[in-house]
Structure 1
Amino acid sequence: MNDPESTPDLILFNKPFRVMSQFTASADKETLANYINIPAIYPAGRLDYDSEGLMVLTGIGSLQHSISHPQHKLAKTYWAQVEGEVDEHALSRLRNGVELNDGPTAPAEAQRITAPDSLWPRQPPVRYRAAIPTSWIALTITEGRNRQIRRMTAAVGFPTLRLIRVAIGPWQLGTLQPGEYQPVMLTAAQRTSLLPQGKRAENRTTPRRRTGRPTGKTPAHRPGRPSRRR
């Protein structure tokens, strides 16, 4: 096992489209093992196969729990490209909570935004339909239900076409490109709020055997062009 003092508290990772948020092999699909080769770290929460953006990984069990467990209500912000011109009525419904098949959602922050000009192109791209415009919204939720954002926007009449997570609690996606990651050490304030008694956990999570081989990664953690599976 790596020396705990030399291992970062967490890793921020920009998960590409159509990558599984796990290290174990999954048929012919890419996984985190194609991009990250750091022992004894694991996802603190998941991100859908067809969603992109920020994931947090850590080897500290209590930190993993604090980030991922619904009882802590850590805010997560998403940018969603939706089908149609989203209106204020739909945004108001999202803010107040919408009824899903597993119950009403908690109130969310929702606002229309301009199309982000710094986003990487998605492969394959979102389908283009000349007769149907698209728009972008920013949504911040404190829940973690299965495919929740997609179900919320569909419930108010605007299906999600592309979904990118840009923030988890205090951590931002920033300038990370798909497949890139950044090691992070907790600040004193974060340690106090996220770890029991403000201390580093005594033991990191137990290493498990991983399958899959990471793509070549440079010292700057910028991988070579990964193969894209359709």
Structure 2
Amino acid sequence: MKIIITGASGMVGQAALIESLNSPTVSEILIINRKSIELKHPKLKELLIADYSEIPFHTDKFIGYDGCLHCMGISAVGIDEIDYTKITFGYSKILFDSLLKINPDMKIIYVSGAGTDSTEKGNYMWARIKGKTENYLLNLGFKDAYAFRPGIILPEKGVKSKTAWYNAMYSILRPVFPLIKKMKGTIGSSDLGKAMLSLLKKPIVLKIIDPLQIKNLAKNFTENDY
């Protein structure tokens, strides 16, 4: 299986990349980033794009891939709705449209977040925009597509957040991670990566995936592929 990963420099993208590199079911990985993650691996290829609006000029690089884990995202803190929409929905739309032209049979997973608003009419700007992005993907026409809505993600296997104070908080809480992980809305980063790979291999009817379902998918992938 050959897959594309976006946002590999962020915590979610790192989780997806680590599990993909470790999985015998994944033979090749193309990561799309603005800056190199400076990692060498026989499975790994890197496409550096300064602006996501340039993606349609690189579609020849996407030929032959079976799935895409779209993990790119930004915090809504300190950003206005126009810019947040451009990055969250606009760039995602460009990516999805480009992949659909290359291979409508490709499996796509978009990572949004718990609290995403499918009605696109709620009070929270970030939730409306992520809901719009989910809705666009799930109705675009891919053979298989999913929206992941993780809650609290606990970093594992060296995964780090791009936000410094998150990392400081995780360091303080690490001794009680086993207890926190048992909470309903909490998952480990490795579970997130494994769950995505599980869906690429074996599709399910449900298209919006919550934390409990992420845990179950990760368990199935562990049992079948490791």
**TM-score category by the smaller chain?**
under 0.3
Q: Greater helix share, 1 or 2?
A: 2
Q: TM-score, normalised by structure 2?
A: 0.24
Q: TM-score, normalised by structure 1?
A: 0.24
| Higher-Rg member (1/2) | 1
Q: Greater strand share, 1 or 2?
A: 1
Q: Which has the higher contact order (CA 8 A, sep 6+)?
A: 1
